[in-house]
A and B are shown apart, each in its own frame.
Chain A
Amino acid sequence: MNYSKPEFKEKYDNYINGKFMAPLGGQYFDNTSPIDNSFIAKYPRSQKEDIELALDAANAAKQGWENTSAADRAAMLNKVADIIEENLEAFALIETCDNGKPIRETLNADIPLAIDHWRYFAACIRSEEGGATELDQHTLSMNIKEPLGVVGQIIPWNFPLLMLSWKLPPALVTGNCVVLKPAEQTPASASFLMEKIADVFPPGVVNIVHGFGPEAGKPLASSPKVDKVAFTGETTTGQLIMQYASKNLNPVTMELGGKSPNIFFNSVMDADDAYLDKAVEGAVLFAFNKGEVCTCPSRILVQEDIYDAFMERVVARTEAIIQGNPYDVNTMVGAQASNDQYEKIQSYFKIGKDEGAKVLAGGEANKLEGNLANGFYIKPTIFEGHNKMRVFQEEIFGPVVCVTKFKDEAEALEIANDTMYGLGAGVWTRDAHQLYQIPRAIKAGRVWVNCYHAYPAHAPFGGYKKSGFGRENHVMMLNYYRQTKNMLISYDKNKLGFF
């Protein structure tokens, strides 16, 4: 079954204090689809005053929301999950249209995962307990978790609804009010969501403000009216947001990308079986979501004695990728999210070739026909080279992987850890010792072992080194949005005796 471009209204507004509101300055920007560069709709080009309005609404709502029971808050999250599920196909189509990712990914990954995150955090809050410790016969220490207050969230454009669903549920369910700015490249699913869930939360609890980074993102990140900022993006903006937070002495969490190694030890080829087939697919997962993933396995490290035989299979599997119309259910790789990404990837093709990297597959843009000729398609690309090359060190954020070989475990680890980043890694082996020891020695927050690109809500995700800090997903996420109130209670009727 194939799909086509969904219908949109001509323009959408911000969602502030429970109402859809035009930006105060009256300005909108045109959002386009990277599939064919066609117009989608107009979205608010908000300014500082719109952010202020949203922050005031959130601050006004926070006392009431904190006092709302965990059962009620969880019920609202479950309601959101149900609404997204009832509209799964519509959300998938909007996401494909706005971001350029193939419909089979949005139908089977983005939207189902987003739904599960809402449900997971609803379950977490209902099943957790606080702590009470009797320190001595007369003294009780009680830890009560309290929300931070108002959280500012700035999300990226590579998984628009999923990133929203990573960030909103844990903040809301712990009793915080949120002002969220979607990425300006992909505002569509956030607006569609607010239209569907407008009646779920009390006014002011969730506020969505669209706009450009320097005009709306910066006022949100730097405002003294927020108690925390959560950001996913790149290092320079991450550094700026931390700088703003330091003025307000606010906590932040940062997810800033990576250059993740995907390591294949020689035992992978001990048999020609289902596992080897899975490992080959694991290497080709660099092309998932056209490589626009923070954890894109963008460096393949293969043990030298299996290098030729393994890479022959990886190249063949890469060349078999179907790239084309993202609305076609058979399409595996769609369009890059924007023209500047498309141009940036091509500039990396040039420097990669200049540095002497050998092109094993792709290496150029993919000029498609008809309307798609206006879209931003890049052929899945494999470069062969060494780890000091810039294409091995920088996040290209395209369907581009760089492959190199290693002799032994020590060299595999040396190459894997020779990077500024430490977000994800993959380890593929049939050796029971390597299964545990290699992941332990890799400096990264998530190591997939004999798998890759799985993102269950129940497993913590986040970076080492310049990939950031703080974690997302998992019950531990709740505490990134809370303070601990310690109550130290004395049941002793007798004085200390000091005074």
Chain B
Amino acid sequence: MERVAITEAATEILEQLKTKHGELIFHQSGGCCDGSAPMLFEKDEMYLDESDILLGTLHDVNFYMNQDQFEYWKHTHLTVDITKGRGASFSLEIPLGLRFLIHSRLLTDQENEILNTKNN
């Protein structure tokens, strides 16, 4: 049972970027402008520690979110999708004229029990 999933269209772009850049990670951003969107970086680009929660792994790409933000998000399931767009962050898909984005739904009662009682 996972907290995070990815669409086929987003997987295709993810695989393309893995071929180009090697090992990657997602980090969910918050805040203004291009915030509230997932950022894709080379694996060692960003300093991560225990304040970054690993939500799941999508085709060998770990998906992280900061603990503070996770507290407000943990009752929801996330799906990474891709859309046409132009972000202003350092996320690796931006030069392709594309942006990853998140679709969310509430966890079911069963998912919530398993994910949020076991892990926390």
In the bound complex, what is the Cα–Cα distance between A397 and B36 (angstroms)? 9
B35 to chain A, nearest CB (A): 3
The stretch from A66-74, A197-205, A209-217, A305-313 touching chain B is A209-217
Q: Is the CB of B104 within 8 A of A233?
A: no
Name which of B29, B47, B86, B91 has the most chain A CB atoms within 10 A of its CB.
B86
Mask of A231-264 contacts with B, CB within 8 angstroms, 1/0:
0111111111001000000000001111000000
CB contact under 8 A between A390 and B88, given known A233-B32, A395-B35: no
In the complex, which residue of chain B has the Cβ closest to the Cβ of A45? B95
Shortest Cβ distance from residue A319 to the other chain B in the assembled complex, whole angstroms: 26
Report whether B106 and A355 are in contact in the complex, using a CB–CB cutoff of 8 Å.
Answer: yes
- Name the CB-closest residue of B to A394: B36
| B118 interfacial by beta-carbon distance below 8 Å | no
Residues of B within 8 A of A183 (CB): 33, 88
The reply to whether A351 and B76 form a contact with Cβ atoms under 8 Å apart is yes
Q: Are A395 and B86 in contact (CB under 8 A)?
A: no
A236-B39, A344-B36 as given contacts; A213 in contact with B87, CB under 8 Å: yes
> Can you name the residue of chain B whose Cβ is closest to the Cβ of A211?
B95
Tell me whether A466 is interfacial, beta carbon within 8 Å.
yes
How close is B89's CB to chain A, nearest CB, in angstroms? 5
Indicate the member of A156, A214, A232, A395 with the most B CB atoms within 10 Å.
A214
Q: Which residues of B contact A (CB under 8 A)?
A: 27-37, 39, 41, 45-47, 66, 68-69, 72-73, 76, 83-92, 94-95, 97, 99, 101-106
Residues of A within 8 A of B (CB): 29, 45, 154, 156-158, 183-185, 212-215, 217-218, 232-240, 243, 255-258, 294, 338-341, 343-344, 347-348, 350-351, 354-355, 388, 390, 393-397, 420-421, 466-467
| 30 A-B contacts (beta carbon < 8 Å) | A184-B94, A185-B88, A213-B89, A213-B90, A213-B91, A214-B90, A214-B91, A214-B92, A217-B90, A232-B32, A232-B33, A233-B32, A236-B27, A236-B89, A237-B39, A243-B47, A255-B32, A257-B33, A257-B35, A339-B85, A340-B99, A347-B102, A351-B104, A351-B106, A390-B72, A390-B73, A395-B30, A395-B32, A395-B36, A420-B72
